[in-house]
């Protein structure tokens, strides 16, 4: 218990993050939130709310500094990618634990990240930055297809496209520009009109979960990932089924990347591709991973309460990062196959009693609209099952069995989407 300490969250974000607030209260913390609104689901766990437009760092900083005089903050944190830099700014201004602002910028701006990794010889894909089609065309001449293009400041795979041949270059560029407009998503206000083109890395993608405290890197483990054609992530499993040799390489490259960026006193979620020439960094995020990875999969399989540890790190408190279990866990998502409006769910309550099922998380409820990429990013996730097994293989098997019994029915002609 860390009673009486006041932790400031930059945004309560969305209901899937409820466990972060619940964990803070379980630790005995006073919880403050700054953001443009306070979601209804979060109110039972929030002691102080500060209204501010967190897209405007000057306004946010002004409001937070005023509040700090009345309710002094002992730490500042976020579990959302867009607020990694504002957290670093607030930490510096209030003399709290946090990453240096330059390090946070490197974690948020994929172009800066690539440059830092290149400077420090940390494995990463070949890349070039561009701002318009002419720059993309000129640099693509010397690159080998397929290619990947992406905005440098987005997250959750928003605006990431694969280009298979030169014939697709112009059309994909147009799709990139139209789908990453600020009107579609305010996330694209960050580093506007800055893009990356990079080599497409063949291999298996994983993520590494952990924290950095006073310069020391602590690993909770490696997560196995699945992706689709739009780089959505419909499934995670922990720990990843990799050899000891590959695990050592993944962790070494991740540690080198974190040290190169200078991240400190924060959680991290590093994404890497295991290629024939070794592990290469896709990106390193200066916050914990989402999709149930750190709130559910890590503690279920290892017993490490990484969310609690992240809070303690932010507050400068001691923490225990010792694994207490050696099991497997999986989060498998039911993905929409078309846009529409959810009418109702079937089978969810029945699967809760199936072997290995820990929980089912609704991401879309009756009446919610569903959008499909590239028109709308990150909106086709309907809900996911969380499972526990004696090992990763068993957890995956339980997840597949459970999701196969779930059905989401859309309003339009009562179209059904089945789990498989």
Same domain, 132 and 56: no
Q: Kindly report whether the global pTM for this prediction surpasses the value 0.75.
A: yes
Q: Where are the alpha helices (DSSP H) in 71-219?
A: 84-93, 101-108, 110-119, 133-140, 169-179
Same domain, 264 and 376: no
Q: Determine how β-strand 235-238 pairs with β-strand 216-226.
A: antiparallel
Same domain, 292 and 394: no
Residue 81 lies in a domain: yes
Same domain, 221 and 317: yes
Residue 138 lies in a domain: yes
Measured CA distances, 178 to 174, 195, 213, 376 (Å): 6, 13, 40, 11
Give pLDDT tens digits for 256-312.
999 999 999 999 999 999 999 999 999 999 999 998 999 999 999 999 999 999 999
Same domain, 339 and 317: no
Same domain, 229 and 131: no
Same domain, 87 and 47: yes
User: By percentage, how much of the chain surpasses pLDDT 70?
Assistant: 97
CATH number, domain at 51?
3.40.50.20
Residue 102 lies in a domain: no
Give pLDDT tens digits for 37-55.
999 999 999 999 999 999 9
Total number of domains in the chain: 4
Measured CA distances, 413 to 342, 343, 408, 416 (Å): 11, 10, 13, 9
Query: Is residue 71 within 8 Å of residue 32, measured between CB atoms?
Result: yes
Same domain, 153 and 92: no
CATH number, domain at 176?
3.30.1490.20
Last residue of one domain, picked from the residues 326, 342, 375:
326
End-to-end CA distance of the chain: 42
Last residue of one domain, picked from the residues 296, 326, 356:
326
Q: Determine how β-strand 30-35 pairs with β-strand 147-151.
A: unpaired
Domain interval for residue 185? 126-199
Residue 117 lies in a domain: no
Strands (E) located in 214-313: 216-226, 235-238, 266-275, 278-285
Last residue of one domain, picked from the residues 178, 199, 220:
199
Give pLDDT tens digits for 209-219.
999 999 999 99
Q: What is the pLDDT of residue 75?
A: 98
Whole-angstrom distance, CA of residue 280 vs CA of residue 205: 10
Same domain, 314 and 394: no
CATH number, domain at 337?
3.90.1170
Q: What is the pLDDT of residue 3?
A: 72
Residue 404 lies in a domain: yes
């Amino acid at each position: 218990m860390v009673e009486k300490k006041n932790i400031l969250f930059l945004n309560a974000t969305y209901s899937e993050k409820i466990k972060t607030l619940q964990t803070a209260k379980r630790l005995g913390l006073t919880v403050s939130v700054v953001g443009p609104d306070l979601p209804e689901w979060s109110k039972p766990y929030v002691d102080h709310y500060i209204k501010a437009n967190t897209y405007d760092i000057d306004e946010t900083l002004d409001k937070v500094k005023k509040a700090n005089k009345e309710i002094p903050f002992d730490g500042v944190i976020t579990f959302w990618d867009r607020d990694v830099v504002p957290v670093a700014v607030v930490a510096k201004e209030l003399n709290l634990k946090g990453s240096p602002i330059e390090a946070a910028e490197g974690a948020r701006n994929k172009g800066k990240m690539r440059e830092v990794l290149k400077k420090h010889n940390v494995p990463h894909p070949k890349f070039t930055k561009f701002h318009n089609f002419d720059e993309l065309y000129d640099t693509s001449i010397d690159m080998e297809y397929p290619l990947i293009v992406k905005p440098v400041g987005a997250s959750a795979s928003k605006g990431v496209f694969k280009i298979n041949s030169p014939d697709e270059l112009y059309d994909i560029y147009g799709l990139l520009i139209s789908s990453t407009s600020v009107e579609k998503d305010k996330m694209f206000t960050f580093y506007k009109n800055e893009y990356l083109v990079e080599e497409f890395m063949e291999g298996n993608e994983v993520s590494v979960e952990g924290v950095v405290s006073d310069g020391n890197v602590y690993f909770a483990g490696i997560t196995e990932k699945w992706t689709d054609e739009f780089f959505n992530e419909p499934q995670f499993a922990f720990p990843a089924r990799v050899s000891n040799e590959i695990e050592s390489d993944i962790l070494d490259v991740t540690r080198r990347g974190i040290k190169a960026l200078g991240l400190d006193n924060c959680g991290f979620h590093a994404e890497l591709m295991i290629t024939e020439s070794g592990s290469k960094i896709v990106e390193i995020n200066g916050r914990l991973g989402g999709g149930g990875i750190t709130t559910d999969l890590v503690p279920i399989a290892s017993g490490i309460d990484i969310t609690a540890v992240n809070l303690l790190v932010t507050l400068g408190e001691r923490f225990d990062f010792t694994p207490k279990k050696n099991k497997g866990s999986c989060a498998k998502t039911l993905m929409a196959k078309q846009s529409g409006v959810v009418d109702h769910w079937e089978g969810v309550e029945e699967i809760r009693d199936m072997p290995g099922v820990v929980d089912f998380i609704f991401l879309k409820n009756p009446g919610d609209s569903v959008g499909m990429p590239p028109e709308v990013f990150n909106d086709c996730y309907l809900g996911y099952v969380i499972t526990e097994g004696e090992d990763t293989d068993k957890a995956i098997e339980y997840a597949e069995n459970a999701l196969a019994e779930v059905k989401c029915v859309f309003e339009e002609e009562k179209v059904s989407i089945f789990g498989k």
